[in-house]
Structure 1
């Protein structure tokens, strides 16, 4: 049985943000198929504290500290490369990868996130699987259209350069993975014919972990009158920042006109200055990082996710649905989940529609509870991690080996 080199742009432990949740479950699934060697970058104290957990999963690993962003950005401008590549470029990690490929029987490289394709040597002749998750170049193009001045130029440059990198990877790889059928179709439309098979491999959700019946609601929310609206996510991530600003500034005034005590709770690490400035505005409360998001989900009246830019599948939506919360969201945030509007979630195409769906659910608790129950049932049946990752063995060329091992 061959061995796998798994290269990830962020440490897959702890699985505490969207991309790390996906890489965490992918890594564990790959490890079940045979020996795996991991090359990855850490950013926080929590990343390095979780190093023993990484060691338990893999045959060997290299965990290096991610380069600082500002020097990486300057190097990108000087070299003509995307910032996304220089921001994850590490000479020690590259050397470890080269040594591992020379010393171990690696027949498959699994690249998680396009930034890490730079580490695959040109001389490697084995199977190459690249999980782009979503089409980053399109995301930066969307940013550029929303911005002005230098920021728009930087985003336009990043989108243009990443599009070239994505196509080059797709011509080197055996398989390119995207997180949804919509992202896969978008990628095909932008790249045209490439050598790789372009395949959708969706996210799952741990419904045993995210279970409202096994979670004690957050006391701080239960003590207040409410209703309580909730948004969760990494709060220095631009689409999340724009979404909560939209909610606090454009949606909450109309919602509070009907429900004056309604509160919009923003929960997630690293809130940017723009997010922190929302605290106290139109019933908005910024919590920042919390020990566990599940009690907040269990206590809220509904989850509000008005994202204008949402690539792939939103883990925050799956988590809320697993916790039996009604979710009011934009069409962008609903992409890739394949749930039914009006039964499993409530989609609003613009501000007025989002406000109407929120007020409607707050006014009818029986309907809200029924939607939450239907959402939970849907994710339990359709969105478990084993179900989502069932095709992985075949993609990795490990199906036959796993079947022989099981026999």
Structure 2
């Protein structure tokens, strides 16, 4: 098939969950013999030279990136208060990018056009007008849930009301847009059920996150035990607020000795205020690491203290592939077919996190076994080769007008 992937960010390098999923999808489709094009927005205006896929992949795909300014201004937010849509979505619309996209569609006939998330759905009308391809929406998360759950964490009544307003606007937009696609792909059964509750009538298929598992090789001899770590982009609000809660909650336990273990925090776009959490020999705020998998391998216990968000946490799946002992909230592990205490530990409040950390840092054999079980789970359900096979079968069904994936 001839397939076009539309992305709201350049998925190279693979330094976040969204980029990992999009890039692995492209590589999997190419390896399966499909003709793949990628058209991506580049919201950070970074040099494309550092964001190109590897040379081998570059020779196999058609790739275009377009710089876009998504800066949020106080004036823009104020004006948006009187709008019916959310600034968080509207800022990804650029008429020049739409023209570029239309030119691409006029020059090529595609079988499938996959929209990677809500932000590129702004271009659905133009794509529908200029292409006869089947249009697939892949929901990396249910966007309004993120805002709704964030509002529930707020005490300030103005912030709570403001976030609820955006949650309502985004939900209305999602309900309107998704039924305009030919089909929807989600990562979790929970997300499918949510969309059905929203009244989405087009076929919805559950296809989980896929990883190239041969790239995830654990070496326990290079792992520091005990050690806690967090790895994730802190420009994503749920990650940032979750880690702020964790650090505020446990900073005394970590520094005074009630939890005798080091904590390492790594990821993209860590705010400067996180430097205030650093404690000599106890808490390390490392920022972006050169090699994420080496960093993960070097630490023993992954923490995922998510209090809001949605979709499937790619970093948890990566941690499982690397045989990590993982402590997560129920929300953080949502959509993963885990067994609490067997391949992951679930902790939803201060006491549960404290008990889980205490157990893990005092029982290395338990941590190692939990990690081995997690790897087996990743192999059963998150092998990219199986995931891509299921995705292309779904594409075939859509192209042939079949209803095999209709909601039942």
Q: Which TM-score tier does this pair reach, normalised by the shorter chain?
A: 0.7 to 0.9
1:244-280 Cα distance to aligned partner (Å, 9 max, x none): 2222221353466665642211011110244333222
1:65 to 67, 80, 85: 67
Distance 1:38 1:75 in 2: 33
What is residue 45 of structure 1 aligned with on the other side?
46
What is residue 34 of structure 1 aligned with on the other side?
34
User: RMSD between aligned alpha carbons?
Assistant: 2.7
Task: Please give the residue correspondences for 1:128-167 in structure 2 after superposition, counting only pairs within 5 Å.
Answer: 128-147=135-154, 148=156, 150-167=158-175
Distance 1:359 1:255 in 2: 11
Aligned length: 390
Question: 8 Å contact 2:227–2:301 — kept in the other structure?
Answer: yes
Task: Please give the residue correspondences for 1:205-284 in structure 2 after superposition, counting only pairs within 5 Å.
Answer: 205-213=211-219, 217=222, 227-254=226-253, 261-280=260-279, 283-284=282-283
Q: Identify if the C-alpha distance between structure 1 residues 4 and 294 changes in structure 2 by more than 3 Å, giving closer, same or farther.
A: closer
What is residue 90 of structure 1 aligned with on the other side?
94
Question: 8 Å contact 2:24–2:211 — kept in the other structure?
Answer: no
Distance 1:250 1:294 in 2: 28
Distance 2:359 2:259 in 1: 15
Question: 8 Å contact 1:230–1:300 — kept in the other structure?
Answer: yes
Question: 8 Å contact 1:248–1:264 — kept in the other structure?
Answer: no
TM-score, normalised by the number of residues in structure 2:
0.86
Give the CA deviation at 1:365: 1.3
TM-score, normalised by the number of residues in structure 1:
0.86
For residue 234 of structure 1, give the secondary structure of its aligned residue in structure 2: coil
Q: Identify if the C-alpha distance between structure 1 residues 137 and 400 changes in structure 2 by more than 3 Å, giving closer, same or farther.
A: closer
357-366 or 20-29, larger mean C-alpha shift: 20-29
Give the CA deviation at 1:75: 6.8
For residue 278 of structure 2, give the secondary structure of its aligned residue in structure 1: coil
Give the CA deviation at 1:119: 1.0
Distance 1:398 1:30 in 2: 16
Q: Identify if the C-alpha distance between structure 1 residues 217 and 74 changes in structure 2 by more than 3 Å, giving closer, same or farther.
A: farther
Distance 1:165 1:127 in 2: 21
Q: Identify if the C-alpha distance between structure 1 residues 260 and 338 changes in structure 2 by more than 3 Å, giving closer, same or farther.
A: closer
Higher RCO (CA-CA < 8 Å; seq separation 6+): 2
Task: Please give the residue correspondences for 1:6-405 in structure 2 after superposition, counting only pairs within 5 Å.
Answer: 6-31=5-30, 32=32, 34-42=34-42, 43=44, 45=46, 47-51=48-52, 53=54, 55-59=58-62, 61-70=63-72, 73=77, 76-77=80-81, 80-120=84-124, 121=126, 122-123=128-129, 124-147=131-154, 148=156, 150-189=158-197, 191-192=198-199, 194-213=200-219, 217=222, 227-254=226-253, 261-280=260-279, 283-397=282-396
Q: Identify if the C-alpha distance between structure 1 residues 137 and 302 changes in structure 2 by more than 3 Å, giving closer, same or farther.
A: same
Structure 2 unaligned blocks of 5 or more: 401-408
Give the CA deviation at 1:48: 4.5
Distance 2:193 2:334 in 1: 12
For residue 332 of structure 2, give the secondary structure of its aligned residue in structure 1: helix
For residue 212 of structure 2, give the secondary structure of its aligned residue in structure 1: coil
For residue 11 of structure 1, give the secondary structure of its aligned residue in structure 2: coil
Give the CA deviation at 1:374: 1.6
Structure 1 unaligned blocks of 5 or more: 402-407
